[in-house]
Amino acid sequence: MADQSHSKPVHHQEYEKKQHREEMKQQVLTFALMILFTFIAFGMVIFEVDSYFIIPTLIILAVVQVAFQLYYFMHMKNKGHDMVAVMMYGGVAVAALTIITFTSIIWW
Amino acid sequence: MSTAVAQKRGLGAVIWDYLTTVDHKKIAHLYLVSGGLFFLIGGLEAMIIRIQLMKPDNDFISAGLYNEMITMHGTTMIFLAAMPLIFAIMNAVVPLQIGARDVAFPFLNSLGFWLFLFGGLMLNVSWFTGGAPDAGWTNYAPLSTTSPGHGVDYYVMGLQISGAGTLIGGINFLVTIVNMRAPGMTYMRMPLFTWSVFVTSTLILFAFPALTVGLFLMMFDRMFGSAFFDVGLGGNAIIWEHLFWIFGHPEVYILILPLFGAFSDIFSTFSKKRLFGYSAMVFATVLIGFLGFMVWAHHMFTVGMGPIANSIFAVATMAIAVPTGIKIFNWLFTMWGGQIRMTAAMLWSIAFIPSFTIGGMTGVMLAAAAADFQYHDTYFVVGHFHYVIVGGVAFGLFASLHYWWPKMFGKVLNEKLGKLAFWPFFIGFHLTFFIQHFLGLMGMPRRYWVFLEGQGLATGNLISTIGAFFMAIGTIIFLINVVYTSVKEKKVSGDPWEHGRTLEWSIPSPPPHYNFVQTPLVRGLDPLWVEKMDGKEGMTPAEPLGDIHMPNASILPFTISLGTFIAGFGFIYQVDDPIWLVAVFAGMGLTLGSMLTRSLKDDLGHHIHKEELEEDIKKGVGK
Ligand code: HEM
Ligand SMILES: [Cu+2]
């Protein structure tokens, strides 16, 4: 959050205001989408859609929601989050590797 | 040493100071002393193993005690000696190298240490309570799940507690290096030691959770009647092996990478040259860290994973030799044409190159999955990993201690004694372990209590034992050197090697507790050298002289860790008698209560005022 300090020049303030408006729009939009996704997910389960379809769709919706959460609400799309991304994807990769091993080598 | 002032305050005050300190330099001392102590204990265990194997059919110790000895030797050396000694160097050096006044989370730094220490104590208490762990440092199920007595329970609880400390330490250094670099210190200007600590910390962050999970499953199996590893009840013993090695292989790189970094700094300082191929070195370090996660199953070639899995892991393993080779050549090229000074630190570093290369070479031999069916679980493997761990990690620790001792304690370790310690250790090391490769090829299995007469193994084993005594002599001379230096040697300046290149050499030895009077401005790789080349005395400050904010000392890390220690005993013994649940609740109560206190009580730290700093500058700290 950039502070509204009065020491900044006027054009800078205006720029920031515009940025904030843009940010707000995105947040509202993603929030609406996330609620929509949740409704879709519940709806599919309530209407007993075929499980071959429902499981992958639910997973995809979940992943997209996590991405929204991280990138829009937790600001990972903004500058200065490269290291955070490296660490998170690194962790995901190691976890995925572990799961792949267990399913392919041990339990297969 | 640095406690000269403190000594006037009496012993009690000094002890209290160390119990509560959050200063990375003092935590380095704590890690050094306790890691050193565990190193001696592990060394003693090694000597006992070697005496038992000195001659055929020996009965120096019983078979059961032998199993405890090898288990505790491996566990102690890896988790309680090598790791903390590395953490000692990391704590002593990294904040100074990046121009920071402390680590990002000083409180957690202290917590990490105390958890490690209590975990280590817990493991060693087992010697006195009816038997140490005896299922090998790898603790494979079902050997471990069926091992009678409480030995393996101590392994599980001790490593769980100290592992939590390591994880905390790793995260702390990650955040420190990402966030606390001085102005101008970009990633590609970080000294290689800092770089390798950064990669190492990432490995800790990703690898230790696998151990944590494995230990929890093992704990449930042994203490609460679950059957994760019990084939008879539908479990699977192989899961432990995978979890252990998903952690275990990165762990061996966690051990070696920081010392790769230290060697890089040492070679460049004592060759009076910039590190050759800096960016290639950084790249190789990152690549080793990355590949280190994809090779764990090379410890399991004989488990029956099938030819496809074996081939994949074999190729991935061999690939690691490439970045490692890059490093070896860059060190050689750093020395090439340099003004080499043969200090003790340099001696250890130069000896490391051929020793470690042999270890890497046998590693590639082991990585050939088909051939590994012959090598696996023989003394060939023992030879391999001692070449990389002693020839790499132990040599690296000795080199780093010689190199950074003046920064830690204000005195240069005596060079003559340093070299005198090196030679017996170096000769003893090769005597002990080189022959073990051949013993392995001749069919001597690892972890066996005795070998028999007429198997042709007697001479090799005797040579190996003789070598071990040489190493012990070297270690003792090093210890004598530490005492001699603290009594006899003179105080040195901030830059005792005169060719110091990195930030830690721009401040006094040992540094004041706030490290830098003013945060330095970094203008290039090897920042101090850049300034020296411009004809300047020290660093240009990046900020005006002002108040410095420092964290307060706290006893809470100690009490949090003590709580886990008490609860650990409770967990182990509640199997015999539920009354021990009292210890679980009391211990966890202490831990959680201390955490609660920490959360509720604001602790904003304190300021060192400008006037005090000006006083210090007059006394010569500013330079
Ligand atoms: C070029 C690099 C390396 C390669 C290709 C390599 C390969 C291997 C392989 C294939 C094994 C399994 C042998 C068996 O059990 O049959 C092994 C074991 C081992 N390696 Fe390495 N290694 C390398 C470097 C290192 C380093 C740098 C360290 C530690 C600093 C290390 C420590 C160990 C340890 C501790 C074991 C034995 C674990 C046990 O079974 O108790 N290795 N190595
Ligand atoms: Cu390995």
Shared-domain flag, residues A35 and A83 = no
Count the Cβ atoms, other than its own, within 10 Å of residue A3: 8
Looking from the CA of B328 toward its CB, the CA atoms found within 13 Å total 18
Position B585 in a domain? no
Looking at residue A106, its pLDDT comes to: 82
Beta-bridged to residue B549, according to DSSP, are: B607
Shared-domain flag, residues A22 and A69 = yes
Counted domains in chain A: 2
Residues of A numbered 60-99 whose beta carbons fall under 8 angstroms of chain B's beta carbons: which are they?
83, 87, 90-91, 93-94, 97-98
Instruction: Answer yes or no: is pLDDT of B4 > 80.
Output: no
3-class SS of residue B498 = coil
Closest by alpha carbon to B508, among B520, B523, B519, B492?
Answer: B492
Report angle CA B79, B82, B88 to the nearest 5 degrees.
Answer: 110
The whole-angstrom distance between residue B392's C-alpha and the CA centroid of its chain comes to 12
Looking at residue B620, its pLDDT comes to: 73
Q: Of A97, A104, A105, which has the smallest distance from its Cβ to B293's Cβ?
A: A97
Looking at residue A102, its pLDDT comes to: 86
d(CA A63, CA A56) in angstroms, rounded, equals: 11
Shared-domain flag, residues A26 and A61 = yes
d(CA B434, CA B359) in angstroms, rounded, equals: 10
Please write the tens of the pLDDT for every residue from B297-356: 999 999 999 899 999 999 999 999 999 999 999 999 999 999 999 999 999 999 999 999
d(CA B62, CA B555) in angstroms, rounded, equals: 43
Q: Of B206, B239, B305, which has the smallest distance from its Cβ to A94's Cβ?
A: B206
Shared-domain flag, residues A71 and A85 = no
Position B575 in a domain? no
Instruction: Answer yes or no: is pLDDT of B500 > 50.
Output: yes
Q: From A87, which residue of chain B is nearest by alpha-carbon distance? A: B202
Q: What is the mean pLDDT of residues B261-282?
A: 96
Looking at residue B622, its pLDDT comes to: 54
Shared-domain flag, residues A66 and A85 = no
Instruction: Answer yes or no: is pLDDT of B1 > 50.
Output: no
Shared-domain flag, residues A24 and A43 = yes
Least confident of A12-21, B459-468, B523-532: A12-21
Spatial contact of B150 and B126, defined as CB atoms under 8 Å apart = yes
Spatial contact of B251 and B82, defined as CB atoms under 8 Å apart = no
Q: What domain range includes position A56?
A: 2-77
Looking at residue A49, its pLDDT comes to: 84
pTM of the shown model: 0.92
Looking at residue A84, its pLDDT comes to: 87
Predicted ipTM of the assembly: 0.76
Q: What is the mean pLDDT of residues B30-41?
A: 98
Q: How far is CA B575 from CA B149, B217, B223, B578, in A?
A: 11, 16, 6, 7
Average pLDDT, chain B: 95
Position B443 in a domain? yes
The burial of B333, by beta-carbon neighbours within 10 Å (0-12 exposed, 13-18 middle, 19 or more buried), is given as middle
Residues of A in contact with B202 (CB under 8 A): 87, 90
Looking at residue A7, its pLDDT comes to: 58
Instruction: Answer yes or no: is pLDDT of B604 > 60.
Output: yes
* B190 min Cα distance to partner chain A (Å): 16
Looking at residue B6, its pLDDT comes to: 45
Instruction: Answer yes or no: is pLDDT of A70 > 60.
Output: yes
Please write the tens of the pLDDT for every residue from B117-136: 999 999 999 999 989 999 99
Closest by alpha carbon to B566, among B536, B595, B596, B586?
Answer: B586
User: What's B53's domain CATH number?
Assistant: 1.20.210.10
Instruction: Answer yes or no: is pLDDT of A1 > 50.
Output: no
Q: From A92, which residue of chain B is nearest by alpha-carbon distance? A: B206
Q: What is the mean pLDDT of residues B385-396?
A: 97
Residues of A in contact with B294 (CB under 8 A): 97
* Residue nearest atom 32 of ligand 1, based on CA coordinates: B385
Position B149 in a domain? yes
Position B597 in a domain? no
d(CA B160, CA B147) in angstroms, rounded, equals: 19
Position B75 in a domain? yes
Position B595 in a domain? no
Shared-domain flag, residues A68 and A95 = no
pLDDT grade, residue A79 (50/70/90)?
confident
Shared-domain flag, residues A10 and A63 = yes
Residues of A in contact with B246 (CB under 8 A): 94, 97-98, 101
Closest by alpha carbon to B292, among B258, B319, B268?
Answer: B319
Residue A80 φ/ψ region, left for φ over 0, alpha for ψ in the -120 to 50 degree band, beta for the rest: left
Q: Please name the residues in contact with B144: beta carbons below 8 A apart, sequence gap of 6 or more.
A: B133, B135, B152, B155, B218, B222, B240
3-class SS of residue B100 = coil
Number of H-type helices and E-type strands within chain A: 3, 0
- Note whether A102 contacts B: Cβ–Cβ < 8 A: yes
Angle between helices B395-409 and B24-52 (to 10 degrees): 150
Q: Which helix (H) or strand (E) holds B607?
A: strand B606-608
Looking at residue A3, its pLDDT comes to: 44
Token match 């300021």: residue? B607
Shared-domain flag, residues A26 and A47 = yes
Position B561 in a domain? no
Spatial contact of B411 and B491, defined as CB atoms under 8 Å apart = yes
* Residue nearest atom 22 of ligand 1, based on CA coordinates: B363
- Cβ separation of A101 and B297 shorter than 8 Å? yes
pLDDT grade, residue A80 (50/70/90)?
confident
Counted domains in chain B: 1
Count the Cβ atoms, other than its own, within 10 Å of residue B462: 16
Q: What domain range includes position B430?
A: 3-554+603-618
Please write the tens of the pLDDT for every residue from B454-482: 999 999 999 999 999 999 999 999 999 99
Please write the tens of the pLDDT for every residue from B146-205: 999 999 999 999 999 999 999 999 999 999 999 999 999 999 999 999 999 999 999 999
Looking at residue B170, its pLDDT comes to: 96
Looking at residue B369, its pLDDT comes to: 95
The whole-angstrom distance between residue B139's C-alpha and the CA centroid of its chain comes to 20
Q: What is the mean pLDDT of residues B494-522?
A: 94
Closest by alpha carbon to A102, among B313, B205, B238, B207?
Answer: B238
Q: From B199, which residue of chain A is nearest by alpha-carbon distance? A: A87
What are the structure tokens assigned to B588, written together? 């966890």
Q: What is the largest CA-CA distance in chain B?
A: 78
